[in-house]
Structures are given as structure tokens and as C-alpha cells.
Chains A and B, each alone.
Chain A
Amino acid sequence: AQSVAQPEDQVNVAEGNPLTVKCTYSVSGNPYLFWYVQYPNRGLQFLLKYITGDNLVKGSYGFEAEFNKSQTSFHLKKPSALVSDSALYFCAVSSRSGGYNKLIFGAGTRLAVHP
């Protein structure tokens, strides 16, 4: 069965410092991996995805993520955090076993960036 783990409920970081939001996954076959951000009472906004190719993926708002097959991880990173990055972040995966149709989400990580 497919699953996604986001081990941290919350990540706190000072503005200007680098941030990392962790994600590990479990699927059979090759994964498609995604990061989404959610602001209060809003839907999800797409940040970036890994389908194939370069393991380092760059996305919106300066975020990037690195696909690590051996560690089955897809951590989200940003070199310098902004207060406006404070939001709820979701990692998601789809795979061939689900027909690449369904997205399975992690539990979410709340990012708090302090001035």
C-alpha cells in the first residue's frame, strides 16, 4: 500500500534561515512526488513535483526538493525562509499501483517562520 510520512507536526524557523520539511514515502514501483501548500481556509497550491530526471526539483516561491530513492525521501527545502512562508505543507505521492490517478497525502507539517 502507498503511504506518505511527514514526521514533524510543526517546524519552527527564524526568518532568513534555511528551512527543511521532511517527507518519506512507501510505494511499489516508481513514485510521482508532490509538495503542496495550504493557507487557512484555502485549497491546496502546487509547489513542485518529481516525476523523473534530475533528483533536485525547483518549484514556486524559491522552494526546492530532492528526491532520494535510496532513502525514499523527498524533503522540501528553502535557503532563506520568509514570514509569509508560514502555512501548512503537504507531501503527496502517486504511483503505478494506483494507476497514477490517486494522490495519497501525508499528515501535513505546519511551518512557522518567526521574524
Chain B
Amino acid sequence: GAVVSQHPSRVICKSGTSVKIECRSLDFQATTMFWYRQFPKQSLMLMATSNEGSKATYEQGVEKDKFLINHASLTLSTLTVTSAHPEDSSFYICSAKRRGEFYGYTFGSGTRLTVV
């Protein structure tokens, strides 16, 4: 079955530094990848949608300069949290969708980011 690998699973960084999270589709081509943020005991909030080879589309209220998304290939998307602050601490989850499928979403295992 389809597998999406997300790394790292946990990361602790200092305020002001940047952190990169990777999302890879291991056995299929992901033309579209999605990045979500989840606060404790809350639902998933869609941050942005990225299509391979083009700029990401950010949801309203998400700072594109803070959350840099790159979808450089059909199997890799990255989310970089720049100049991280404690309020950026959260659980970040990616999902990937196959070319031509309208309902095939596969989720990564998530990344717990803690900014100290």
C-alpha cells in the first residue's frame, strides 16, 4: 500500500532557528501534498497545498514567509519553519495524493516540534 514517510518524528529547537520537516511518498508519485498543523486536542488545520514544480497555495492566515514549503519532486515535499518561536510548537502532519486520484490521501506519521 501507499506509504508516506515523515521526518523527523520529533524535534526540539531554539527560538530564532529554522527547522526543516520532510515528507516523502515511498512507493507512489505524489502530485499534490498537503501540510497540516494540529494543536493539542484539536483538529487538523490545513496550512498549505503544494503541487510538484509550482508554488504552494497557503490557507488564509498562514504566513508563507514563516512556513516555507517546497515540493521539488514527485516524491518529496519539505516544510521549513523559519525563525521559530515557542508559539510555533505544534504537531505537523503531511499527506500526499496520487496523480489522478480524487480520494487517495495518505498521511505521514507527523512531527512534534518544540521550540524552546
Contacts and interface: CB of A to CB of B under 8 A. Distances in A.
A46 B43 CA distance: 16
A41 B103 contact: no
B43 A108 contact: yes
A57 B32 CA distance: 26
B107 A36 contact: yes
Interface residues of A, number: 22
B107 A94 contact: no
Given A43-B6, A44-B93, A102 B46 contact: yes
A105 B6 CA distance: 20
Interface residues of B, number: 24
Contacts of B6: 43
Interface stretch (B14-22, B62-70, B77-85, B108-116): B108-116
Interface string A87-113: 000100010000011111111100000
A103 B107 CA distance: 12
Given A44-B44, A94-B103, A103-B95, 19 more contacts: A32-B102, A32-B103, A42-B109, A42-B110, A43-B6, A43-B107, A43-B110, A49-B103, A51-B102, A100-B102, A102-B46, A103-B34, A103-B46, A103-B105, A105-B43, A106-B43, A107-B43, A108-B42, A108-B43
Interface of B: 4, 6, 9, 32, 34, 41-44, 46, 49, 91, 93, 95, 97, 102-103, 105-110, 112
